[in-house]
Amino acid sequence: MPQNKLIEDFRKLQSLLDSGENFIAFDTETTGLSSSKDRVIEIGAVKFNKDGIKDKFETLINPQKPISAECTQINHITNEMIKDAPLAKDALVLFVDFIKDGILVAHNANFDLNFINAELERAKLPALKNKAIDTLNFVRWAYPLLGKYNLQLMAKLMDIEVTEAHRAYDDARVCMEVFNKTLSDTKSIQITK
């Protein structure tokens, strides 16, 4: 599997945003934790830049295998919901077109990137080459004394409304808001040239 291209110099994020780059906060819901054995069942994304939200993307995916009760308990996605959903290859073609060459933003980014790339490989499509920002690492850097950094906790601490935790689109929107709030909180140490 290809190496993910994570941006690690968090002091340069404001200048990237100011440059007009498109950012795409995204999230996946999956049938388990192993990108080699489990499958993506939902992708949600929100495209934004310095002017705000530009577009959104969300789709369920039929993994061509049953979703376990444990999985459904976490993300509330049922076998009934995905039975007529597009297959991974069809959904991924649309997702790749949506993100184009934008900078990806995800909480625990390697997890989501590895799942997307595993699905792309199964579909015999090229791996993602986009640069990415891991908001988990970003908030650890910005708030080193917190100790816990999961997305729902960060949303609570930042007073960000969560409407459907563990559903891909809402988690992607929350991720975007965590990114923006963390960027605002670190403005004094951002390199803006």
Q: Nearest 5°: CA angle at 69, between 117 and 136?
A: 45
Exactly one of 81, 166, 186, 190 is catalytic; name it. Answer: 166
CB 109 within 8 A of CB 178: no
Helix (H, G, I), strand (E, B) or coil at 87: strand
Taking the C-alpha atoms of residue 93 and residue 107, their distance in angstroms, rounded to an integer, is 23
Copy the structure tokens of residue 56. Answer: 């959104």
- Tell me, yes or no, if 166 is annotated catalytic: yes
Give the bridge partners for 60, in sequence order.
Answer: 42
What are the residue numbers of the active site? 166
